[in-house]
Amino acid sequence: MAFPSRPNETGRDAPGIEFSLRWRSSRHARRLLTLGLAALFIATVARRPEFAGLAAPALLLLAAGRSQRRPPRISLRARPSTRRAFEGELVAIDMAVEGQGDDSVQWTLHPGREIDPVGATTADGPQVRFTFSPQRWGRRQIGTMDLVLRDRWRLAEGHLTVELPALDCYPAPAEQRTQVVLSRLPNRLGEHAGRTFGDGIEFAGVREYVPGDRQRSINWPASTRRGRLQVNTFAAERSQDVVLLVDSTSDVGEPGTSALDLALRGAAAAARAYLEGRDRVGVITYHWGAIGWLAPGLGRRQVYRIIDAMLASERGGTGPAYGTSMARLPRAALPPGALVVVFSPLLDQRFIETLRDMRERGFTILVVDVLNADPPVRPRSTDRMARRIWRMEQEAIRFSLRELGVPVVHWDGIQSLDLPLARYTRRPLIASGSRR
């Protein structure tokens, strides 16, 4: 038995769902019955009536307990505080039961995989609240709830086990405050200082006054020095297109800090950072034989769309859009002149070939290497040799990408993304001309 997954069916005012209870004798009742029957048996066999007296209280209790009311059905309501949470976020679920009468209610939460309970997992009362925290991204089943109703005499127990609704757990975005900005920006209003002059606020230089210039922009000290009127010029403020490319072909490393975990957290952080800078951000997820994408967009909601698209691809779904080849991606998914930020462990040769192909087509690419695992260390010399060869191959891959003009930075998943990217966030990244 389970609760519906649609949120509006378990909303605040939604009626509870009826469940049937399975009643059976409690352990206490079974013990009393054992005592009563054993004593009666002895009384009959040994012809000693004092043992019948010994059986009397136990049997009396059992007989009296039979008259207690036991509701066959109850109404349950489960209301999670949210249906979407980030890794490590605190979530609460409120449980309520109706129709239990005078019976006492005991709840026991059995958390699902990657769900860590916070506080008690057992509680008494008709209305209780459990708190928990999802530990890893993905669609997570909160778990199951065991409900035990006990009659007033505690001789019978009604049992019910229900599956709790699922929860969408988003990867917790890493820390990133700075942005990599291209040297050549499209002619679209934004917050990055472009190379061209415009109406921004960042000082760009001084030039001679021409009729039509605003009087307030006259630089009087410079005019005094040169003897002619000089005006200040400012950099135009532009926005850029950023496409996050997430490689999910390989997931190596410990669960929770694997390459895919880091890729998703890094991509979420990048999406948030660039969207806060008024850039248009999209995502492409690359996995075996299929590509999912979400066209670049603006606004805070785009963060959630991007994470949803990444998780949909991970679940094996198609996401918002679907394809089989990077070469056939529409311009909307990969706009010319966009900055492509790649999160990959660089283990799949086909993906590396795809990166080279994109670079040759003129895209400006920045690779964040999220590989933090090595092959296991074994004492045999052949294993050590294989490990060395593997490392050299990895270094060769990164070297060849750098030779093509693709910067590769390594991120360990612990420190802020600003640190590995610092070299490229201090000044604009030279954009190559798009020949697409």
Task: Give contact residues for another protein (rule: CB under 8 A).
Answer: 26-28, 30-32, 34-35, 38-39, 42-44, 46-54, 56-61, 63-64, 67-69, 81-82, 85-86, 88-92, 101-102, 104, 106-107, 110, 118-125, 128-131, 150, 152-154, 172-173, 272
C-beta closer to another protein: residue 27 or 328: 27
What three-state secondary structure class fits 23? strand
Instruction: Please state the closest distance from residue 387 (CB atom) to another protein, in A.
Output: 25
Q: Which is nearer to another protein, 119 or 330 (CB)?
A: 119
Q: CB nearer to another protein: give 269 or 355.
A: 269
> Residue 7 corresponds to which tokens in the numbers above?
């949120």
Widest distance between CA atoms in the chain: 132
Sign of CA dihedral 319, 325, 328, 331: positive
Shortest spacing between CB 245 and another protein, in angstroms: 22
Is the Cβ of residue 81 or residue 318 nearer to another protein in the bound state?
Answer: 81
Name which of 49 and 205 has its Cβ closer to another protein. 49
Output the smallest distance, CB 341 to another protein, in A. 18
Residue with token string 């606004």:
299
CB of 360 to another protein, least distance (A): 36
* DSSP-assigned letter for residue 319: -
Paired tokens of 127 = 């209305």
Q: Is the CB of residue 331 less than 8 Å from the CB of residue 212?
A: no
Output the CA angle 224-229-234, nearest 5 degrees.
Answer: 105
Listed residue (144, 188, 138, 207) closest to 168, CA to CA: 138
What b/e string do you get for 45-60 counting C-beta neighbours within 10 Å, with b at 16 or more? Answer: eeeeeebeebbeebbe
Q: Are 79 and 150 in contact (CB under 8 A)?
A: no
Contact 114, 170 (CB under 8 A): no
Rank residues 185 and 273 by Cβ distance to another protein and give the closer one: 273
What is the spatial distance between Cα 147 and Cα 121, in angstroms, rounded to a whole number? 12
**In the complex, least distance from residue 139 CB atom to another protein, rounded to whole angstroms:** 19
Nearest approach, Cβ of 61 to another protein (angstroms)?
Answer: 6
Nearer Cβ to another protein (69/214): 69
Is the CB of 243 or the CB of 273 nearer to another protein? 273
Q: Shortest Cβ distance from residue 247 to another protein (Å)?
A: 23
C-alpha to C-alpha distances, 284 to 248, 296, 402, 429, nearest whole angstrom: 10, 10, 22, 21
Beta-bridged to residue 18, according to DSSP, are: 75
Instruction: Tell the smallest beta-carbon distance from residue 425 to another protein (Å).
Output: 20
